[in-house]
């Protein structure tokens, strides 16, 4: 039962990873075979009016990167919270498994709190740096 549950959980978590992996293989929209496939052509294609030109500030590169990282960390914490709840439910009263499940839930909650505090701190620091 335990091995089957682990395999099912891994397969459920692998589905989004496979989806993101396959999305990297799909060519970007607007790219054709006639486009310039040199380094200079790639560099000129990377330049866009939509890309943020500032390092700090609203919509800056630093804020965008930190928001994505914090979003991923928060999502992982929520997934671990769900995983801890499932472990607690199927523990069957075994004290070692109940303790492990409670620790998983506690650390997942700590992870959510740390992600929220990091988001607040980063936004405060960026706001102070920009002015």
Q: List pLDDT tens digits, range 21-78.
A: 555 455 555 555 455 567 666 666 666 555 555 666 666 777 788 778 888 888 888 8
Determine the Cα–Cα distance for residues 112 and 76; give it in Å rounded to an integer: 9
pLDDT of residue 83: 93
Domain spans of the chain, in order of start: 53-131
**Full-model pTM:** 0.52
In contact, 104 and 84? CB cutoff 8 Å: yes
Q: Which of 25, 22, 47, 45 is nearest to 35 (CA)?
A: 45
Q: What is the pLDDT of residues 78-109, one digit of tens each?
A: 899 999 999 999 988 889 999 999 999 999 89
């Amino acid at each position: 039962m335990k091995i089957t549950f682990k395999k099912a959980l891994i397969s459920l978590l692998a589905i989004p990873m496979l989806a993101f992996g396959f999305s990297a293989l799909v060519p970007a929209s607007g790219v054709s075979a006639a486009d310039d496939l040199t380094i200079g052509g790639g560099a000129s294609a990377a330049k866009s009016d939509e890309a943020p030109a500032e390092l700090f500030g609203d919509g800056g590169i630093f804020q965008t990167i930190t928001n994505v990282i914090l979003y991923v960390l928060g999502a992982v914490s929520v997934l671990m919270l769900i995983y801890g709840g499932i472990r607690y439910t199927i523990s069957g009263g075994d004290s070692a498994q109940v303790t492990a499940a409670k620790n998983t839930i506690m650390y997942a909650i700590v992870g959510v709190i740390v992600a929220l505090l990091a988001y607040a701190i980063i936004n405060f620091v960026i706001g102070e740096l920009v002015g």
